[in-house]
Structure 1
Amino acid sequence: MLPELSPTLIRRRLTSLFPAHLIEGIARERDAVQRHRKIDITMLVWALILGFAVDGETRSIAAFQRVYQTATNQTVSRSSFYDRFTPQLRDLLSDLLAHALEEVAIPHTIAPQLSQFRDVMIADATVFRLHRLLTAFPATHEDQSGAQLYLVYNVTKRTLAQFSLTDERTHESSQFRTGNWLRGRLFLFDLGFYSYRRFALIHENNGYFVSRLKKNANPRIVGERRKWRGRAISLKGSHLQERLSKLKRKQIDVTGEFAFKRRRYGEKQSSATIEFRVVGVRNEDTDDYHFYVTNLPNEFTPEQVAALYSLRWKVELLFRELKSRYGLEKFETGDEAIAELLVTAALLTLVVSRALLAVFQEIDPDAEYPEERWATTLRSVAQLVLADLALALGHPPPNLPEIVRREARQPEKSRLTLNKQVAQAFSREVQP
């Protein structure tokens, strides 16, 4: 039997994640509130977060104003609303996002063998277009602006671990920081983060990694990690590319030696070598191998290494959710602070979505909630959720006829509809 759900379930989770006193306290610290406030800062924050999820809305300030006014049954002048989109509001949202990253987690065991890692994490980045006059975010092509959103996604807890926003020209791998935080964690990388020095630093910090092997990589094989039946061709002592054409086995599992350069200190930069595991799994359709480089122990079979790497698709789905569901590529502002504010709001929408997902997953642990299906559902109910929050925060229920009249009528009397323009033309006296 399905558990009975309380109508206040969603509201309770949201207000526990971002209580009004927390939002108001940070807003005062960040000077994001006004002495005589006409706009409720708590509802403004929620209008930004849930406004990204509202189905059919653009990501303009005017759209957020409509969302806010509909939820609060309050008419706010356009200039008053626009004036609230400041660097201080951006900083408030950034603080709330940092708070949420510590609070939101959906513990999820993919396979029992992965419990030996503190977390399984994916580092990746995506590029999206901004207003072409936003020069603070130069793109790789002239006359364009582009931002790059770098994320570290925690697959184990199904939430964000780190993020940063840079211009498109900044290389994504420069945002990945090494150090003690790597200990006990498994990282999955695409080729944008391919670096033997980075892999060595992860290994030296007692972390783990899996990456695709570059096609032109040709490490010297210093050892076989598995025994094969029959008269198997030995790879030890050769370079990887030398004997591939002669191999028919379904898997390759060897230790390769890789040369790399250490970090430069002053004018000196030393060279080093390190041994990593190289795994190959034959693709029967293309009749070639998919190769991976890793420091995972032998207990993980080649098939399991390849399956682990396929988890990288999770972050691609995450970027698709941000772009297709929450409109990450639909910003129309030329203001740097507002662009950063909107990106932060989009990430807050994602985190809030995951916080609600955690509630339903806890209530109904045997059910599956695919992230994109979940995001689509959230979009369909976002305005209702916001209205429920507004009622809880003391705003009156919406006056639907007044909302329709306010939003649908022509805001400027000087702008004539086509019918009136034609009528006006016929009403003029014809000059002889």
Structure 2
Amino acid sequence: MSDSLQALDWGELVGRLGSAAELEASAREAGALLRKRQVAGAVDLLRLCFAYVLGRFSLRTLAAWAEQRGLASMSDVAMLKRLKASADWVGSLVSLLLAERCPEAVAGLPGGLRMMAVDATVVAPPGPKRDYFMVHTVFDLSRLQLCSVEVTDRHDAERLSRGARPGELRIADRAYARATDLARAVAAGADFLVRAPSNYPRLLDSEGQVLDRLALCREAAEKGVLDRSVQVQDGKSKLAVAARVVIFPLPPEAAEKARRAARRLAAKASYAPSQAGIEMAGYLVLLTSLAPDDWPPERLASTYRLRWQIELAFKRMKSLVGLEDLRAKDPDLARLWINTALLAALLAEDDLPALDPEAPDSLPLAA
């Protein structure tokens, strides 16, 4: 059993999540504890979830451990069903803790849009044959809940449009700034807000001419911020989608830090960075389908910063409970695993940096 599981004080943990009665009520409401025939109550069920994740138990070992501790009496197949049914419940506990720390995330958006942070990470399970795979997640920032987990082959590309629906604002980092995927998200009825790298995607003006990204950044430096309508075009298919490019110069200290990071990254990857690329590292470049009337530049920047709550929470989770130990490829079981890991990370650190709305990327502050 892992040290983290042994160290848990269950009385204190239950107290931090409300009470045993409140856990019982929330588990029943979420459909995780409809019958007590195999598990006595919500506290025991939560302990099984923690044991599965923090104890690194197989389902068979977990069933034997639960029987020995008097927590539950069930087969490994029944244990699997019980854990999968608990994914939403554990997710609701995560959202309660997140809401306490960051109430501004649930304040709501114009038009009833739901903020969806899209991310993916590569996972390499332990063992001699390390079968790398991708974990694609969609986190509802409006409800502070993990709403989608998909585990795929590592060659399955990150896609902003994965599961996109009408009424969503999809927020993502540079890896998702691809014209074809932005177009798919719009076709699904969603809006997008993504950060763009210095060298892609291609931006066109109203006459179809390619815009010079460095010139746009320098114009933003002169004006304080640049907000311009563009066409985002895929270089191969020539597919284009209408958008706004919004560029903020980072504060001098933050810009220099970003440029040093760009140089280090280039050195690590063994290539010589261009001077233009280094200069543009000192700017925040956002692409969005949102209308300027409801979404002025400052609001876009502050909304993009909210994405860091889940981004850094996952990074913290990796270091605290080891996302690399994720063995589940079933979507519901993987969601239970990640939600439990997030809950453990939140309980481990009251002042989790992942919940700081000030991005570590030194994004411009709203005026």
Report the TM-score range of the alignment, normalised by the length of the smaller protein: 0.5 to 0.7
Query: Whole-Å Cα distance in 2 between the matches of residues 16 and 201 of structure 1?
Result: 40
Taking a change above 3 Å as real, the CA distance of residues 372 and 98 of structure 1, as seen in their structure-2 partners, is same
Confirm or deny that 1:159 pairs with 2:145: yes
Task: Determine the structure 1 residue equivalent to 2:175.
Answer: 192
Gaps of 5+ in 2: 1-13, 257-278, 356-367
RCO higher in structure (CA 8 A, sep ≥6): 1
Amino acid at match of 1:274: V
Give runs of aligned pairs for residues 23-422 of structure 1, distance below 5 A: 45-51=45-51, 58-61=55-58, 68=66, 72=70, 84-86=75-77, 88-98=78-88, 106=96, 108-110=103-105, 114-132=109-127, 143-173=129-159, 176-178=162-164, 181=165, 183-217=166-200, 218-222=202-206, 239-241=211-213, 243-244=215-216, 247=219, 248-249=221-222, 250-260=224-234, 272-283=239-250, 284=252, 285-286=255-256, 288=280, 289-299=283-293, 300-330=295-325, 343-350=334-341, 370-371=351-352
- For structure 1, the residue ranges without an aligned partner over 5 or more in a row are 34-38, 134-142, 224-235, 263-269, 358-368, 375-432
CA distance in 1, matches of 2:203, 2:160: 25
Give the superposition deviation at 1:18. Answer: 2.2
**Aligned to 2:76, what secondary structure does the other structure show?**
coil
Shift in Å, 1:219: 1.5
Q: Please report how far the alpha carbon of residue 16 of structure 1 lies from its aligned counterpart in structure 2 after TM superposition.
A: 1.5
Deviations 1:236-293, CA, capped at 9 Å, x for gaps: 966233734863412221111233499xxxxxxx864332101111123345432111
Give the direction of change, closer, same or farther, for the CA distance of 1:317–1:103 in structure 2 (3 Å limit).
closer
Take 2:234 and 2:195, find their aligned partners in 1: how far apart are those partners? Answer: 17
Highest Rg: 1 or 2? 1
Give, in whole Å, the separation in 1 of the partners of 2:29 and 2:112. 36
The alpha-carbon deviation at position 186 of structure 1 amounts to: 1.3
Larger helix share, 1 or 2: 2
- Residue 50 of structure 2 aligns to a residue whose secondary structure is helix
**In the TM superposition, what whole-angstrom CA distance separates every residue of 1:273-320 from its partner, at most 9, and x where no partner exists?**
332101111123345432111112214333332332222222222213
- Secondary structure in 2 aligned to 1:94? helix
The Cα of 1:26 is off from its aligned counterpart by 7.7
Mapped to 2, the partners of 1:176 and 1:216 lie a distance apart of: 24
Distance 1:99 1:254, change over 3 A: same
Matched-pair identity in %: 17
Helix, strand or coil for the counterpart of 2:47? helix
Q: 1:14 aligns with which of 10, 14, 23?
A: 23
Q: How many residues align?
A: 304
Tell me which amino acid in the other structure corresponds to 1:278: V
Please state whether the residue corresponding to 1:130 is helix, strand or coil.
coil
Q: Distance in 2 between matches of 1:20 and 1:184?
A: 26
Judged with a 3 Å threshold, the aligned counterparts in structure 2 of structure 1 residues 315 and 105 are, in CA distance, closer, same or farther, namely closer
Structure 2 CA distance for partners of 1:162 and 1:345, relative to 1, 3 Å:
closer
- Residue type matched to 2:179 in 1? Y
TM-score (norm: length of structure 2): 0.64
C-alpha distance 129-274 of structure 1, shift in aligned 2 (>3 A): closer
Equivalent residue letter for 1:302: P
Q: Secondary structure at the match of 1:347?
A: helix
Task: Answer yes or no: is the 8 Å Cα contact 1:119–1:185 preserved in 2.
Answer: yes
| Inter-partner Cα distance in structure 2 for 1:191 and 1:318 | 18
In the aligned structure 2, how far is the partner of 1:257 from the partner of 1:325?
42
Within 1, Cα distance between the matches of 2:173 and 2:228? 21
Q: Note the aligned Cα RMSD (angstroms).
A: 4.7
Q: 1:65 to 1:325 in 2, by over 3 A?
A: farther
Q: For residues 359-385 of structure 1, give each alpha carbon's deviation from its aligned partner in whole angstroms, at most 9, with x where no partner exists.
A: xxxxxxxxxx645799xxxxxxxxxxx
In the superposition, relative to structure 1, how do residues 110 and 177 fare at CA in structure 2: closer, same or farther (>3 Å)? closer
CA shift digits 1:314-369 (9 cap, x unpaired): 222221343233343346x7xx78x9897454234257679x99xxxxxxxxxxx6
For 1:118 and 1:174, how far apart are their aligned partners in 2? Answer: 16
Matched residues in 2 for 1:343 and 1:244: separation?
42
Report the AA paired with residue 320 of structure 1: K
CA contact (8 A) 1:58 1:330 kept: no
Query: What is aligned with 1:387?
Result: none
CA distance in 1, matches of 2:107, 2:354: 26
| Code of the aligned partner of 1:15 | E
* Inter-CA distance 51–125: structure 2 relative to 1 (3 Å threshold): same
